[in-house]
């Protein structure tokens, strides 16, 4: 054989270690082990960041002009060294990509300029950052646990200007009854935190929304997953059991079965209805996740 048709040193190593003489003996699982990871796929365990960046890159390329404009108005979003790609001359991470998609969904049905917004469970504050960068809201209240409020307060204090930051009111969960129930809001937002609360706590928050708000945007999973291959149960079995007991929707399903997800949507819409007199005016999949759904409810819309 001509020398230039021989295996490269890289492939010599692969044949010695992974695609060996014994590789074809048993094909039962070869497409999800080191054999195929060296032939056709990148190992997800070793290449998780590459897969994440591929996801973000593909989604970013699909953003519309309005989405790109929303993203461009959010300054200082690279604080904290996020995992980013560069598309259309802009740095894009998954957090803020989701934020602009969420705002696009809300904006099509609700005018946020001049609105008073309440967010329950804001994380480090990316939604608040995106809203205050794109709309002239009157106020933005955040209800959260003490330590998370410290994080969001620090982050938002650095990424927003003084005028924007002055519109935020941080409310500890311990003070909700005293402070929030006497206020009124045009929109309440909950993104991926009701699913992590006890069912009775979610119901109490929905009652609060019913009493104080006229609009409600929610983006959460339609159910639970238990397939260990998806995350390796890396936080331990106790964390898995705790997760299975939280949220109003606790049915375990194949979250990558589109029909199973679609079948769970009616229960999702019903579970997050704040009360009588509310209508779900829009709902759709919460990209990029296969099993997240987003819905907007308005009070007295009929």
- How high is the pLDDT of residue 56? 98
| 11-51 pLDDT, tens digit each | 899 999 999 999 999 999 999 999 999 999 999 999 999 99
Higher pLDDT residue, 286 or 240? 286
CA angle 219, 258, 264 (to 5 degrees): 55
Rounded to an integer, what is the distance from CA 178 to the centroid of its chain? 30
230 pLDDT above the threshold of 90 = no
Cis peptide before 241 (omega within 30 of 0): no
What pLDDT does residue 232 have? 86
pLDDT tens digits for range 157-187: 999 999 999 999 999 999 999 999 889 999 9
The CA distances from residue 143 to 146, 175, 190, 191, 291, in Å, are: 9, 9, 10, 13, 25
Asked if pLDDT for residue 2 goes beyond 60, the answer is no
- Binning pLDDT at 50, 70 and 90, where does residue 85 land? very high
Predicted pLDDT at 231:
87
Query: In angstroms, rounded to a whole number, what is the distance separating the alpha carbons of residues 18 and 300?
Result: 63
Spatial distance between the Cα atoms of 13 and 269, rounded to a whole number of angstroms = 53
At 140 the pLDDT is 98
Q: Give residue 213's pLDDT band: very low, low, confident or very high (50, 70, 90).
A: very high
In this prediction, residue 7 has a pLDDT band, given cuts at 50, 70 and 90, of confident
Q: Which two tokens stand for residue 99?
A: 């934020």
Provide the pLDDT for residue 234. 87
CATH number of 95-299: 3.40.50.150
Largest CA-CA distance found in the chain, in angstroms, rounded: 84
Which residues neighbour 29 within 8 Å (Cβ) at sequence distance 6 or greater?
Answer: none
Integer Cα distance of 155 and 11 in angstroms: 47
- What does the pLDDT average to over 101-122? 97
The residues spanned by each domain of the chain are: 95-299
Mean pLDDT over the full length of the chain: 95
133-142, 237-246, 290-299: segment of lowest average pLDDT: 237-246
Task: Give CA–CA dist 98/225, Å, rounded.
Answer: 21
**Is the predicted pLDDT of residue 302 greater than 80, yes or no?**
no
Mean pLDDT of the 113-124 span? 98
Q: At 281, phi and psi to the nearest 5? A: -95, -15
Q: Is the pLDDT of residue 212 over 80?
A: yes
């Amino acid at each position: 054989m001509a020398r230039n048709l021989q295996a490269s040193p890289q492939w010599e190593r692969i044949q010695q270690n992974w695609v060996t003489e014994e590789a074809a003996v048993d094909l039962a699982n070869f497409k999800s082990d080191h054999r195929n990871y060296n032939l056709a796929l990148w190992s997800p365990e070793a290449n998780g960041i590459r897969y994440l960046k591929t996801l973000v890159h593909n989604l970013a390329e699909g953003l519309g002009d309005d989405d790109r404009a929303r993203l461009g108005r959010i300054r200082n979003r690279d604080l904290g060294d996020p995992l980013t790609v560069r598309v259309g001359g802009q740095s894009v991470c998954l957090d803020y990509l989701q934020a602009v998609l969420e705002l696009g969904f809300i904006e099509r049905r609700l005018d946020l300029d001049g609105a008073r917004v309440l967010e329950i469970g804001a994380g480090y504050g990316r939604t608040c950052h995106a809203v205050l960068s794109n709309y002239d809201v009157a106020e933005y209240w955040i209800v959260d646990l003490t330590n998370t409020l410290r994080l969001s307060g620090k982050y938002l204090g650095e990424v927003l200007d003084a005028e924007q930051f002055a519109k935020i009111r941080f409310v500890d969960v311990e003070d909700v009854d005293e402070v929030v129930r006497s206020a009124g809001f045009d929109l309440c937002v909950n993104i991926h935190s009701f699913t992590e609360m006890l069912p009775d706590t979610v119901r109490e928050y929905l009652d609060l929304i019913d009493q104080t708000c006229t609009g409600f945007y929610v983006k959460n999973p339609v159910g639970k997953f238990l397939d260990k291959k998806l995350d390796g149960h890396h936080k331990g079995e106790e964390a898995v059991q705790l997760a299975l007991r939280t949220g109003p929707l606790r049915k375990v399903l194949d979250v990558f079965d589109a029909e199973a997800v679609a079948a769970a949507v009616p229960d999702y819409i019903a579970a997050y209805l704040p009360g009588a007199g509310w209508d779900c005016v829009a709902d759709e999949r919460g990209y990029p996740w296969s099993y997240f759904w987003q819905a907007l409810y308005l009070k007295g819309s009929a």
